[in-house]
Amino acid sequence: RKEVEQDPGPFNVPEGATVAFNCTYSNSASQSFFWYRQDCRKEPKLLMSVYSSGNEDGRFTAQLNRASQYISLLIRDSKLSDSATYLCVVIGPVSGGYNKLIFGAGTRLAVHP
Amino acid sequence: EPEVTQTPSHQVTQMGQEVILRCVPISNHLYFYWYRQILGQKVEFLVSFYNNEISEKSEIFDDQFSVERPDGSNFTLKIRSTKLEDSAMYFCASQGTGGEQFFGPGTRLTVL
C-alpha cells in the first residue's frame, strides 16, 4: 500500500464550482498533515496545515480523520488561478526536530471559464 | 521575504559525469533537505541534514550521492557518477524553528 494515496484526477471544473480532494495515508503514527500546491514545473508551496478539528483559510477547508487515516481539501468558488496540482503531504513518525515530508502523487485541478 | 535559492536552474550532463547542485537555504534555518521529482511522478525525500550531518536518508540516496554544507551558507548535493535515471527535478528545502519547509525553485537535471 502506498504511504500517501490520492486520486490523480484531473478534475475539470467551471469557475465558481466547489471541488473536494481526498487523500489516505498508511502509517497511523504519522504526526502532521498538509496540503501543498504545485504549479507546472515549479516547487511545491504550502497551502495549509490540516488539523483534527478542521481548519479553514478563505475558500479552502481542510479536514483530518485520524481514525480513518483520511485527509480532505475542499475548495469553494473555484478561480482560474486555482488550477494546479494539489499534493497531500504527511510527516512520518520521526524525532529530532527534522520533518521528513512524504508526498502523495497529487491531484490535478483544471478550472475553466 | 527570505527565500531558498538554487543553482543552476537546469543542468545537462553526460552519463557517468559528476554533478553538484547548489542551494542557499534561508539564513537562520537549521534543517536542510533534498527532494527529487522525476517527471510525472511524486516528490520523493532524499536526505535531511542538521548540525553538519545527515539525519536521515532514503533508499534512493545511495553511495553515489553526498551532501555538504561547505561554508555555512551553501548546501550542496553531489552525484558522483550520474545515471540516466537520475534525470529529475531536484528541490532543496530548509526549515526553521516553526517547522514549515520552504522549497527552492529546483534544478532540472538532464542526464544524456
Residue A97: how many CB atoms within 10 A of its CB? 14
The phi-psi region of residue A87 (left if phi > 0; otherwise alpha if psi is between -120 and 50; otherwise beta) is: beta
DSSP letters spanning A52-97: TT-EEETTEEEEEETTTTEEEEEE-S--GGG-EEEEEEEE-S--SS
The neighbouring-strand residues paired with B108 are B10, B89
Of B45, B25, B59, which is closest to residue A101 (Cα–Cα)?
A: B45
Determine the pLDDT at residue B42. Answer: 95
Q: How close, in Å, is residue B16 to chain A by CA atoms?
A: 26
* Spatial contact of B38 and B88, defined as CB atoms under 8 Å apart: yes
DSSP B14-47: -TT--EEEEEE--TT--EEEEEEE-TTS-EEEEE
What local confidence, expressed as pLDDT, does residue B70 receive? 84
pLDDT tens-place string over residues A25-52: 999 888 889 999 999 989 999 999 998 8
Summarised one tens digit per residue, pLDDT across range A61-108 is 999 999 999 999 999 999 999 999 999 999 877 666 678 899 999 999
Q: Which of A51, A98, A102, A103 to mutate to test the interface with B (most CBs of B within 10 A)?
A: A98
Query: How much is the pLDDT for A94?
Result: 66
Is the predicted pLDDT of residue B17 greater than 90, yes or no? yes
Q: Do B42 and A41 touch (CB under 8 A)?
A: no
Placement of cell 550542496 in the chain: B76
Instruction: Quote the pLDDT of residue A50.
Output: 92
Asked if residue B106 has pLDDT above 80, the reply is yes
Q: What is the pLDDT of residue A52?
A: 84
Please name the residues in contact with B112: beta carbons below 8 A apart, sequence gap of 6 or more. Answer: B12, B13, B14, B15
Residue B16 in this model has a pLDDT that exceeds 90: yes
A102 to B50: CB separation less than 8 angstroms, yes or no = no
Q: Report whether B59 contacts B35 (CB < 8 A).
A: no
Of B50, B100, B108, Cβ closest to residue A98? B50
Contacts of B98 (CB under 8 A, 6+ apart): none
Q: Which residue has the cell 475553466?
A: A112
Per-residue pLDDT for B68 more than 70?
yes
> What mean pLDDT value characterizes chain B?
94
CB-nearest partner of A103 from B31, B43, B50 = B43
Please report residues of B whose CB lies closer than 8 A to that of A99. Answer: 31, 95, 99, 101
Confidence class for position B2, pLDDT limits 50, 70, 90:
confident
Q: How far off is chain A from B44, nearest CA to CA, in Å?
A: 7
Please answer yes or no on whether A104 and B35 come within 8 Å at the CB atom.
Answer: no
